[in-house]
Amino acid sequence: MSKQDYYEVLGVSKDVDAKALKSAYRKLALKYHPDQNPGDDAAEAKFKEVGEAYAILSDPEKRAAYDRFGHAAFEGGGAGPGGGNPFGQGDPGDIFENIFSQVFGGGFGGGGRRRNGPARGNDLRYDLEIALEDAFTGKDTEITLPTAVDCDACDGSGAEPGTSPETCPTCQGAGRVRAQQGFFTMERTCARCSGRGKVIPNPCKTCGGAGQVREDRTLQVKIPAGVESGMRIRLAGEGEPGMNGGPKGDLYIFIDVSEHDIFERDGPNLYCPAPVPMVTAALGGEIEIPTIDGGRARVTVPEGAQTGRKLRLRGKGMPSLRGSGHGGDLFVEMIVETPRNLSARQKELLREFCECSGADCNPESEGFLGRVKKFWDGMTGEDGQRPN
Ligand SMILES: [Zn+2]
Ligand SMILES: [Zn+2]
């Protein structure tokens, strides 16, 4: 199922500012809110869709990731729980109701739900470029990434050590407060505790009460031999920490194998264009070529070989990723080289040599001239004249 572009969902342009974005969201969210459309599944789906689009585009970091990678920025590849959900786990109904409350400062009353259940942490993406040689051998490497971790000083509570969070005096721990407004009873998130139900009288000095700090983390990553560009390595539980005791998200390492100076890769096979001197191509002989393991191989050039001919070296390609079966092959693609800077004597010899002609001597020319003749014959008009 292909997802609609977030900007299109909200009917805004790519350069929309925060104010216009919020206003576009407000209009659509009001229109599709489940309380306005009881029992209408299509409206509810639409409500979630605009909520998701707004949640991403209103968050500068997520919006930047989305602009760069599209929906793929938030895809967990279906590899684990919560894959594909940019909000982590948790009740999706709560999530979108919550976005709505944040924008409107309250729900339609009555149906407001609290959001202090455990929620899974966000998945993270890390792009890693590796050399073709490393993709061949596999590699143990280290990556460093900024991440939010529980604050050590307060153990993630946000309260200065020795003190603890207290029940919010405004909402008595409910996280929401109710107020009469016209004929609506508005229930809104408690402003004092932001819906957490608890306040921190003495915030931790290290994290400022957030309970989490940004930190560079270094991780060991094992790149398996045979990886290809576009593959992802999942490190379970290495994503962002969850909220309220929820599990951590996952880290996805996106592999990009860089181009190589000598070898071109197509799946498990490697291709190596190699120049062959004209005389070697004519008489047959041997050329030496490099192999991806850093070694060298001698390749027999058959007598009369032409440009474009591929010589196969079995088992000299990339290894198979799972280590099962055999890997790919190396194809040496011959490019017959025309000599330059000839001496007078060499030129004389070549002129003598030129007397040789015919299909046996010039197979490519013969085929080509045959096709050209057929083409001209087909073009001949009724008057027998060839068009100019
Ligand atoms: Zn702290
Ligand atoms: Zn409160």
Q: Do 251 and 271 belong together in one domain?
A: no
| Residue 356 is assigned to a ligand binding site | no
Q: What is the pLDDT of residue 155?
A: 86
Q: How many whole angstroms separate alpha carbon 327 and alpha carbon 293?
A: 13
User: Per DSSP, what are the bridge partners of residue 217?
Assistant: 145
Q: Do 250 and 269 belong together in one domain?
A: no
| Residue 272 is assigned to a ligand binding site | no
Number of independent structural domains in the chain: 3
Compute, in angstroms, the gap from residue 176 CA to the centroid of ligand 2. Answer: 6
Of the residues 228, 259, 290, the one at which a domain ends:
259
Residue 127 lies in a domain: yes
Residue 311 lies in a domain: yes
Q: Do 28 and 66 belong together in one domain?
A: yes
Where does residue 199 rank: exposed (0-12), middle (13-18), buried (19+ CB within 10 A)?
A: buried
Of the residues 259, 277, 300, the one at which a domain ends:
259
Is 60 exceeded by the pLDDT of residue 82? no
Compute, in angstroms, the gap from residue 172 CA to the centroid of ligand 2. Answer: 6
| Residue 361 is assigned to a ligand binding site | no
Compute, in angstroms, the gap from residue 120 CA to the centroid of ligand 1. Answer: 20
Of the residues 35, 70, 105, the one at which a domain ends:
70
Contact predicate 313/280, CB 8 Å: no
Ligand closest to CA 151 = 1
Q: Do 250 and 298 belong together in one domain?
A: no
Q: Which residue has the higher pLDDT, 247 or 356?
A: 247
Q: Do 35 and 123 belong together in one domain?
A: no
Domain span at 247: 117-155+210-259
Residue 7 lies in a domain: yes
Q: Do 301 and 327 belong together in one domain?
A: yes
Structure tokens belonging to residue 290: 């490099």
Is 70 exceeded by the pLDDT of residue 363? yes
Tell which residue, 91, 97, 84, has the closest CA to residue 54. 97
Ligand closest to CA 204 = 1
Q: Which residue has the tokens 């909520």?
A: 51
Is 70 exceeded by the pLDDT of residue 325? no
pLDDT digits (tens, 9 = 90+) for 113-136: 344 567 788 888 889 999 999 999
CATH code for the domain of 221: 2.60.260.20
Q: What is the pLDDT of residue 116?
A: 56
Is 50 exceeded by the pLDDT of residue 369? yes
Q: What is the pLDDT of residue 245?
A: 74
| Residue 204 is assigned to a ligand binding site | yes
Instruction: Assign 3-class secondary structure to 312-361.
Output: EECCCCCCCCCCCCCCCCEEEEEEEECCCCCCHHHHHHHHHHCCCCCCCC
Q: Do 148 and 220 belong together in one domain?
A: yes
Q: Do 270 and 301 belong together in one domain?
A: yes
Q: Do 141 and 248 belong together in one domain?
A: yes
Across the chain, what does the average pLDDT equal?
82
Is 80 exceeded by the pLDDT of residue 79? no
pLDDT digits (tens, 9 = 90+) for 239-281: 877 777 778 888 999 999 999 999 999 989 999 999 999 999 9
Residue 365 lies in a domain: no
pLDDT digits (tens, 9 = 90+) for 138-150: 999 999 887 777 8
Compute, in angstroms, the gap from residue 114 CA to the centroid of ligand 2. Answer: 12
Q: How many whole angstroms separate alpha carbon 282 and alpha carbon 303?
A: 5
Compute, in angstroms, the gap from residue 203 CA to the centroid of ligand 1. Answer: 8
Q: What is the pLDDT of residue 120?
A: 83
Residue 27 lies in a domain: yes
Q: Do 27 and 145 belong together in one domain?
A: no
Indicate the pTM of the whole model.
Answer: 0.54
| Residue 193 is assigned to a ligand binding site | yes
Residue 368 lies in a domain: no
Residue 98 lies in a domain: no
CATH code for the domain of 3: 1.10.287.110
Q: How many whole angstroms separate alpha carbon 345 and alpha carbon 355?
A: 16
Ligand closest to CA 188 = 2
Q: Which residue has the higher pLDDT, 379 or 117?
A: 379
Question: How confident is the model over 294-301, as a mean pLDDT?
Answer: 93
Compute, in angstroms, the gap from residue 213 CA to the centroid of ligand 1. Answer: 8
Q: Do 292 and 271 belong together in one domain?
A: yes
Residue 146 lies in a domain: yes
Q: Do 139 and 6 belong together in one domain?
A: no
Compute, in angstroms, the gap from residue 192 CA to the centroid of ligand 1. Answer: 20
Q: What is the pLDDT of residue 370?
A: 86
